[in-house]
Structure 1
Amino acid sequence: MGKLRVLELYSGIGGMHFALTESSVPAEVVAAVDVNTTANEIYKHNFPNTLLLPKTIEGMTLNDFNKLDFDMILMSPPCQPFTRIGLQGDVSDPRTKSFLYILDLLPRLNKLPLFILLENVKGFETSSARDTLIKTLKECKYHFQEFMISPTCIGIPNSRLRYFLIAKASPGSLPFQTASEILEGFPKAFNEGSPTVSDSYCGSPSSNLKDDRDIIYKLETARDLERKRSQNSEESVRRLQDFLEDEGHRTDMDQYLLPSKILLRYAMLMDIVDPNCRRSVCFTKGYGHYVEGTGSVLQSCTDVQLESVFKSLEGLSEEEKLKQLSQLKLRYFTPREIANLMGFPSHFSFPPNISVKQQYRVLGNSLNVHVVAKLINLIIS
């Protein structure tokens, strides 16, 4: 096969492009398309030689697409229409319009792309947008497979469960036995040689954990603690310390320490991990700005026991509580550390004018590079 011509839609900060490079598949991104000015600035900073079209997809005509003469589409359509925070508007949400436009154009292209790879949030799999996607692929006679995959499946200590679909045009078929149901994790045959991680750590909740509703400490039940201990015992998953920056070589690390008012107000709600942990929760675009449900925070001082600190807080004044909590040296993960967990290479960087808040935001909207690279290898093999 010659060098593939790839069209990257909703290109963001280039996660798909980095995954394509990592896959080592001979390919060239002939165009990247996105309307987000911050993401586009970061994309251009990292891929200065790639044609970047800062326009809406609906603003491109059928002829515009045909001129690009692409063999593969990589895309990650807006996820907000399929999330609770986005009100799950599905196809009625204006942000779905561009995706439906792509599906309308696909059968009318001069040449069907050989390969399609799509990523989206959990929730997309039950949407009307997904139904329209499947209907279109069937009409165009694509062979396809859907997946729910978290990076934990390949030994990365970060839960980021996402929907993926890969499709290959006829004739020919995908290099594994496809199934009508959505697969959890990668196909078994393709996963040989990769870390063997339990299904519960790849995204499915374990059913055999004790359902104990009594709070042990920090609003955590026995079930919560047992689940976290189980995740931290998965030796095939790497430790967080492998993804952290060297604090001794950064003079500005104090800016990531949690402010006093955040500690006092949200300490009980935070997901706290330390460098030896083999788990962290999904980082979202609100990380560093909102606390609850946006990502884990790191306990920098591991000489102090987390459980003993929280059990000592009852009955203390705010000043005394703050003194106890401060021993833990809780901090946010830096944008570079989150990028590491999401598989971005060491040479990925942000332009100097992009604020930390903007960095968190675009990373929260991105995808795991290693997972997508593995899927690209799967679809091409």
Structure 2
Amino acid sequence: MEPLRVLELYSGVGGMHQALRESCVPAQVVAAIDVNTVANEVYKYNFPHTLLLAKTIEGITLEEFDRLSFNMILMSPPCQPFTRIGLQGDKADPRTSSFLYILDILPRLQKLPKYIVLENVKGFEVSSTRDLFIQTIENCGFQYQEFLLSPTSLGIPNSRLRYFLVAKLQSDPLSFQAPGQVLMEFPKIGSENPQKHAGDAEKTVEPNIGLGDSTHCSGKKTILFKLETTKEIDRKHQQNSDLSVRMLKDFLEHDIDINQYFLPPKLLQRYALILDIVKPTCRRSTCFTKGYGSFIEGAGSVLQTSEDVQIENIYKSLSSLSEGEQIEKLLMLKLRYFTPKEIANLLGFPPEFGFPEKITMKQRYRLLGNSLNVHVVAKLIKTLFE
């Protein structure tokens, strides 16, 4: 087949480009577009031969889009307007304007692309922006399927539930199309097994793992030990017992100076209760966000490197100790942040993926927190062409 001419919108550090490579579909990225200067530095470092346009999408005219003569669009629009943590401004959020511009341009292109792949956060599927997107591609003649998928379904020990849509310009439905359903697993082409979809209540939310409430002692709120419900403990145990998922140790760096990644003592004591702690032998970790390394709550798991120390014993013994002694006990766990390279590994970036030296640690975490899982997108691209 003739190599596809691919337009990569909101290219970031190149997760979509990497997924396209991994899919082995013959293709050339004719242009990547992103306004983030730091992300563009990383993109250029990893894809030096790709035309990278450092400008807003609204700054590109219909004529310029036509000249690129692309037949596939890969895109991961800003997720902040739809995220559960944000204000959920949807179409009213200024960060949605570039995507609305794409929807305005799409039907007016001289030649419509044949394929579209889109990624966003869970929550996009219930937005009015999504409704407008669906209406636009339906009017253009696309057949499409929506998904909510996490890398754990590919054996990767990291929860990162995301919305995906694949679309193809054709009159016949896709072989795996399930009209009106958001599928919760990859299509089994030719399989008789029914797909799980977003109506299956037990699969619609990403697990929130390991958060507890601080205890009250003599009316004073203190962080003494990790409180978890039986349900939370069971869920962790269940995830760690799933042999179809690999262990975290397969994704860790070796021969690195880990001292710079250890959690500072004061931070340890202050946030002891809400840390999501995993060991190298665990088969789970929570979603890493752009605030990882700067924030604790909900930003991602931390790694216990002293595997012979029992975490329960440490936490149970804290209540009778002074603040200094508590810190001393917690330091025995040798808790550290995952390195940017380890997070990139969990996100499916290949070993040769890297950062220019001038990109700071904070910037690396931020860029990866905004990225996507390469393996998940690669499998969806393959599915679209099977």
| Partner amino acid, structure 1, of 2:5 | R
1:348 alignment partner in structure 2: 353
Quick one: which of 267, 290, 294 aligns to 1:289? 294
Query: Residues of 2 paired with 1:201 and 1:35: CA distance?
Result: 38
Per the TM alignment, residue 201 of structure 1 is displaced from its structure 2 partner at its CA by 9.8
Query: Residues of 1 paired with 2:362 and 2:4: CA distance?
Result: 36
1:222 alignment partner in structure 2: 230
Per the TM alignment, residue 256 of structure 1 is displaced from its structure 2 partner at its CA by 0.2
Per the TM alignment, residue 219 of structure 1 is displaced from its structure 2 partner at its CA by 2.2
Query: Residues of 1 paired with 2:292 and 2:191: CA distance?
Result: 32
Query: Residues of 1 paired with 2:317 and 2:258: CA distance?
Result: 28
After superposition, the C-alpha distances for 1:204-260 in whole angstroms (9 at most, x for unaligned) are 469xxxxx99999502111111110011000000000000011xx11x210000001
1:108 alignment partner in structure 2: 108
CA 1:201–1:368 in structure 2 vs 1: closer, same or farther (change >3 Å)?
farther
CA 1:137–1:358 in structure 2 vs 1: closer, same or farther (change >3 Å)?
same
Matched, 1:82 2:114: no
2:379 alignment partner in structure 1: 374
After superposition, the C-alpha distances for 1:88-118 in whole angstroms (9 at most, x for unaligned) are 0000000000001001111110111000000
Query: Residues of 2 paired with 1:76 and 1:150: CA distance?
Result: 16
After superposition, the C-alpha distances for 1:64-100 in whole angstroms (9 at most, x for unaligned) are 1000000100000000001243310000000000001
TM-score, reference length from structure 2: 0.91
Per the TM alignment, residue 171 of structure 1 is displaced from its structure 2 partner at its CA by 3.9
Whether the 8 Å contact between 2:153 and 2:185 is mirrored in structure 1 is yes
After superposition, the C-alpha distances for 1:309-349 in whole angstroms (9 at most, x for unaligned) are 11110121111101110110000000000000000000000
The runs of 5 or more residues in structure 1 that have no matched partner are 193-198, 207-211
Per the TM alignment, residue 173 of structure 1 is displaced from its structure 2 partner at its CA by 4.1
Per the TM alignment, residue 141 of structure 1 is displaced from its structure 2 partner at its CA by 1.4
| Partner amino acid, structure 1, of 2:226 | K
Query: Residues of 1 paired with 2:40 and 2:237: CA distance?
Result: 40
The runs of 5 or more residues in structure 2 that have no matched partner are 193-199, 216-223
1:24 alignment partner in structure 2: 24
After superposition, the C-alpha distances for 1:28-83 in whole angstroms (9 at most, x for unaligned) are 00000000000000000000000000000000010010000001000000000012
Per the TM alignment, residue 380 of structure 1 is displaced from its structure 2 partner at its CA by 1.5
Q: How does 1:54-203 map to 2 (within 5 A)?
A: 54-189=54-189
Query: Residues of 2 paired with 1:179 and 1:377: CA distance?
Result: 20
Whether the 8 Å contact between 1:149 and 1:202 is mirrored in structure 2 is no
RMSD: 2.1
Per the TM alignment, residue 190 of structure 1 is displaced from its structure 2 partner at its CA by 7.3
1:233 alignment partner in structure 2: 241
Per the TM alignment, residue 200 of structure 1 is displaced from its structure 2 partner at its CA by 9.6
CA 1:201–1:186 in structure 2 vs 1: closer, same or farther (change >3 Å)?
farther
TM-score, reference length from structure 1: 0.93
Whether the 8 Å contact between 2:7 and 2:32 is mirrored in structure 1 is yes
Per the TM alignment, residue 170 of structure 1 is displaced from its structure 2 partner at its CA by 1.6
Whether the 8 Å contact between 2:239 and 2:283 is mirrored in structure 1 is yes
Whether the 8 Å contact between 1:219 and 1:269 is mirrored in structure 2 is no
